[in-house]
A = this chain, B = another copy of it.
Amino acid sequence: MSNDGAADKLETATLAEAVRGGDRRALARAITLVESAKAAHQDESEALLAALLPHSGKSLRLGITGVPGVGKSSFIERFGQHVIAAGHRVAVLAVDPSSKLSGGSILGDKTRMEDLARHPAAFIRPSPTGGTLGGVARRTREAMLVCEAAGFDVIVVETVGVGQSETTVADMVDLFLLLLLPSGGDELQGLKRGIVELADLVAVNKADGELAEAASRTAAEYRAALHLLRPGAETPVLLCSAKTGQGIAEIWQAAEAAREALAASGVLGHKRAHQARAWMWSQVHDTLEARLKADPQVAAQLPALERAVMAGELAPATAARRLLQAFLGPRKD
């Protein structure tokens, strides 16, 4: 039971049933299986997902991002407890392509969410380690499906607000919450360009004590900015304090209301269907690129072609054609 190999031996159907029955060891084992990059695990992993898929999809999927220092773990700890107290079961997953085997920069250190982690209605899983963003995200997405089949009806997907992973997370959730610092509008939030516009909900954390006033000011500024950027859609900008708990209930309320509006308008079903299809295609592209790069004929030419393209000595289209010819053979039409 304690080694990863155990998953191989347990029948898929039995494992799927144990997951659905709420067995936490089975859940962990199932996620380990779908996270496995080993070819030998692929059939089993796919059979497991096929068995669980009909029971997935019923959760509220919430992405959360914010720069380091904004207090994401404390927020999720408070927020998770509130949501559990409201009668839900919460799974917290993470997408962090920078995380190492030794424990990632987010959620690797479980002690950061100690109370939530101990709660029987919560499940916390650190980011899958190693591989490309696409690979890490695929495994998180599949872990999400497994958690849903296990009866978790709120899935929080955490990421750091400084890289490309936000777009990827936004593409797998129903709603995206951006946590901000009370910055007074002058200091840097260090967010990557484009992230603010991904947000369906914004919350200014640390809105307590002497930062309360700065937090209100920041909220007002972002409210005005979002009004310009996303005309028509009023993005809620709220205040909260993970320390005192103030505002946490309102954020959950806003998330539930936004989710209900999405479902009632039919946008949710549409969004999820398109997310799933886009996901399929992004994996097709990732795999094709990996296979192309692994091709010996391509590998022999790629460094020189990339160098020439970057130096402006070769047109990108010409380089692309050479790579494709090396990989697929000459064009026939």
Chain B, residue nearest A286 (CB): B320
Whether A168 sits at the interface, judged by CB under 8 Å, is no
Name the B residues within 8 Å of A276 (CB-CB): 309-310, 312, 316
Rounded to whole angstroms, the CA-CA distance of A318 and B190 in the bound complex is 37
- In contact, A311 and B273 (Cβ under 8 angstroms): yes
List residues of chain B with CB within 8 A of the CB of A49: 315, 317-318
What separation, in Å, do the CA atoms of A291 and B145 have in the docked complex? 31
A225 close to B (CB within 8 Å): yes
Instruction: Name the contact of A39 in the complex, choosing from B221, B291, B324, B333 (C-beta under 8 A).
Output: B333
A292 to B187, CA, bound (A): 48
- CB of A25 within 8 Å of the partner chain: no
Contacts A288-B324, A331-B39 hold; do A145 and B315 have CB atoms under 8 A apart?
yes
A285 located at the interface, meaning its Cβ lies under 8 Å from any Cβ of chain B in the complex: yes
Chain B nearest CB from A283 CB (Å) reads: 4
Q: Which of A240-282 contact B (CB under 8 A)?
A: 272-274, 276-277, 279-281
Residues of B contacting A333 in the complex (Cβ-Cβ under 8 angstroms): 39
Please tell me how many copies of the chain the complex holds: 2
Query: Interface SS of chain A: helix, strand, loop or mixed?
Result: helix
- Assembled-state Cα–Cα distance A279/B324 (Å): 14
Nearest CB of chain B from residue A276's CB, rounded to whole Å: 5
* A50 B315 Cβ-Cβ under 8 A: yes
In contact, B227 and A185 (Cβ under 8 angstroms): yes
Is A73 interfacial (CB-CB < 8 Å)? no
A196 within 8 A of B: yes
| Smallest beta-carbon distance A278→chain B, Å | 8
Supplied contacts A53-B314, A276-B312, A280-B316, 11 more A-B pairs, CB within 8 Å? A53-B312, A56-B312, A188-B231, A221-B224, A222-B228, A229-B229, A277-B309, A280-B319, A283-B316, A288-B288, A288-B289
Q: List 11 A-B contacts (CB under 8 A).
A: A39-B331, A50-B318, A56-B312, A225-B225, A272-B312, A277-B316, A280-B319, A284-B292, A284-B323, A288-B288, A291-B328
Top 3 closest pairs, chain A to chain B, by CB: A225-B225, A283-B320, A273-B310
